[in-house]
Amino acid sequence: MRILVTGSSPGRTVRVRLAALWLFAAVMAFIVVVVPRDVSTSLADWVTRMIHLLAMR
C-alpha cells in the first residue's frame, strides 16, 4: 500500500498542475526550437534518399 506524503490542498493541486504543464511546454519548446534546426540540415538529404529508395523499388 502506498503512503502519500504530498497532501491534496487546493494550492498544492494548482502547483502540481502547473508543473505538469511546464513539462509539456518544455517538450513542445524543444520540438519548436531544436527539431527544426536538425531538420533544416538533414531533411533535404533524407528526402532525396527516400526518393532514391522509392525509385529503386
Contact set with another protein (CB under 8 A): 2-6, 12-13, 15-31, 33-35, 37-38, 46, 49-50, 53, 56
Nearest distance from residue 3's CB to another protein, in Å?
7
Cα separation, 54 vs 47, whole angstroms: 10
Nearest distance from residue 25's CB to another protein, in Å?
8
Nearest distance from residue 8's CB to another protein, in Å?
9
Cα-based torsion angle of the residue sequence 19, 20, 26, 29 in order, rounded to the nearest 10 degrees: -130
